[in-house]
Amino acid sequence: MPTEFRNEPLTDFSKEENAQAMRDAIQKVQEQLGREYPLVIGGERITTDSKLDSFNPANRTQLVGRFNKATKELASQAVEKAAEAFRTWKNVPAADRAALLFRVAGLMRERKHELSAWMIHEVAKTWPEADGDTAEAIDFCEFYGREMLRYAGEQPLVHIPGEQGELQYIPLGVGAVIPPWNFPLAIMAGMTVASVVTGNTVVLKPSSDAPTIAFKFFEILEEAGLPAGVVNFMTGSGAEVGDIIVDHPKTRYVAFTGSMEVGLRINERAAKVNDGQIWIKRVVAEMGGKDAIIVAEDANLDEAATGVVQAAFGFQGQKCSACSRAIIDTRVYDTMLDKIVERTAKLKLSDPADQTTNLSAVINEKAFKTINSYIEKGKSEGGRVLIGGGSDGEQGFFIEPTVIADVKPGSTIEQEEIFGPVLAVIKAENYDDALNIANDTQYGLTGAVYSSDETKLERARREFHVGNLYLNRKCTGALVGVHPFGGFNMSGTDSKAGGRDYLSLFMQAKVSAERVGATTKRAEAGTATD
């Protein structure tokens, strides 16, 4: 039996041996940049005439990897191969599937810095952000492996005299796994191994902005002993091949993390029953947020300011859990603005390969233009830029961490998910007003309250409508097993990744009940007849 689950420790880069190990990993990855990677369908490596290139956002001319675009025919073939593999994989004992995840975790742990270095180059994560991403991916493998053993054990039922009942969880079938680019290892790996350990097979279509790290993970799956066809690796356009795997009648479920717009589109397409389909497809979706930190008048303002800045600008604000709104009581508003600006000014915007960098480039040119347009919209709607607002897209897609004060409730940057280093600061008349502003959004993912008043904190527990609520701490940094993650409303299906309920979304419960003694009596009756 495995030991009790413990979260993977984060790396302390203040220790020179750890820093040197990361520098060595960065050098190793740089020597491998620009390679071409195939599709893998049913274990077969496939190349096509059309290619997809992944570039470093912080160095837009640096090719990280070149990928083959799948055709519609290959996308359909991937689902068919996954369906074939499901016939045998579903019968592999749960203990063996869990053991596979533990082997995967071990391999990732051995190559921890190398995996992080790929993310430093492919999505411009800083050292700590990349390290946290890798640690979370390891956590998902370790946690879900243990969870599968729990689900495979005896399940509690009410028993009645004369009958023996059993409940067992069985897999669904073929899953389309469509992960995002912002946690390109952790979320991608989490959705994939949750599918695999529960006995399903997968068509994995990584984000076109982060395919290299996904392929590196796929290679680890193969090395750990995953049979061909259980996970099929497919790169290409979501509108072209993504729709094929979502619509295919042999696809049983879709696991998606990304924007609300794409998530709703997937949900709509999955709801349609196509020819030959004999089930209602299940959709597991996490779709973003417009997260707020409330700072009450009785809060520790230094701690609150630190939490706001960390949550707003970690990974350039490109987290669905990021603090994009700071809602501050009018009595401490000006003081908090000073503290937020002071801390923001100390952040270093630079090359993510540099150990001292705090934040780096945003993911691509489209995001660069969109985020800049939101900054301009914030100013045109009466917001006051206190710091930041500048950008440089020549070498990489760099946008300064930007704080916009005096944002009005209901304005564009107070309502729409920006997904960049932009913090909207809103003045609240009192705590009631702050809660009303925080809840006035179509999302409901994360939120936080800073206050020394337990009555206010208890009200937040009851009234702040988010899936993950944090009190006197930042609203980012959920840990597997500690903070099961998922939100309400347009933030998704509240799937609670990294929690005890998550694997049930990838399985279905089957009950069998046997009348005690019936088999023996039939056997005896047969003997008497003979």
Last residue of a domain, one of 450, 471, 492: 471
Which tokens in the block code for residue 379?
């100013």
Which tokens in the block code for residue 353?
């390969």
| 187 shares its domain with 235 | yes
Q: Are 451 and 459 in contact (CB under 8 A)?
A: no
Residue type, 399: I
pLDDT band at 525 (very low <50, low <70, confident <90, very high): low
Domain-embedded: residue 517: no
| 174 shares its domain with 77 | yes
Give the mean pLDDT of the chain: 96
Domain-embedded: residue 358: yes
Q: What is the pLDDT of residue 529?
A: 44
| 99 shares its domain with 124 | yes
pTM over 0.85: yes
| 298 shares its domain with 236 | no
| 82 shares its domain with 109 | yes
Domain-embedded: residue 479: no
| 299 shares its domain with 329 | yes
| 155 shares its domain with 276 | yes
Query: 294 - beta bridge partners?
Result: 327, 449
Q: What is the pLDDT of residue 460?
A: 98
Q: What is the pLDDT of residue 519?
A: 55
Average pLDDT over residues 292-299: 98
Domain-embedded: residue 10: no
CA torsion sign, 345 to 425 to 398 to 122? positive
| 266 shares its domain with 399 | no
Q: What is the pLDDT of residue 211?
A: 98
Catalytic residues: 286, 320
Within 10 angstroms of residue 481's Cβ, the number of other Cβ atoms is 18
| 272 shares its domain with 311 | no
186-197 helix and 211-223 helix, angle to the nearest 10 degrees: 40
The tens digit of pLDDT for each residue in 314-361 reads 999 999 999 999 999 999 999 999 999 999 999 999 999 999 999 999
Domain count, the chain: 2
Residue 423 Ramachandran class (φ > 0 left, ψ -120 to 50 alpha, else beta) = beta
Chain position carrying tokens 């009631």: 432
| 301 shares its domain with 257 | no
Q: How far apart are CA 485 and CA 491, in angstroms?
A: 11
Range of the domain at 430: 291-471
User: What are the CA-CA distances from residue 13 to residues 10, 18, 23, 108, 125 (Å)?
Assistant: 9, 5, 11, 18, 15
| 303 shares its domain with 244 | no
Domain-embedded: residue 525: no
Q: How far apart are CA 366 and CA 218, in angstroms?
A: 28
Q: What is the pLDDT of residue 240?
A: 85
Residue 173 Ramachandran class (φ > 0 left, ψ -120 to 50 alpha, else beta) = left
Residue 521 has pLDDT above 80, yes or no: no
Q: What is the pLDDT of residue 238?
A: 86
Q: What CATH number is associated with residue 465?
A: 3.40.309.10
Domain-embedded: residue 461: yes
Residue 522 has pLDDT above 70, yes or no: no
- What percentage of the chain exceeds 70 in pLDDT? 98
| 52 shares its domain with 200 | yes
Average pLDDT over residues 475-498: 97
Q: Which residues, 6+ apart, have CB-to-CB distance to 107 below 8 Å?
A: 220, 223, 224
Element containing residue 147 per DSSP (H, E):
helix 127-152
Within 10 angstroms of residue 64's Cβ, the number of other Cβ atoms is 23
Q: Are 329 and 434 in contact (CB under 8 A)?
A: yes
Q: How far apart are CA 119 and CA 64, in angstroms?
A: 10
Average pLDDT over residues 271-294: 97
Average pLDDT over residues 245-264: 97
Please tell me whether residue 46 adopts helix, strand or coil conformation: strand
Domain-embedded: residue 369: yes
Chain position carrying tokens 């893998």: 40
Domain-embedded: residue 13: no
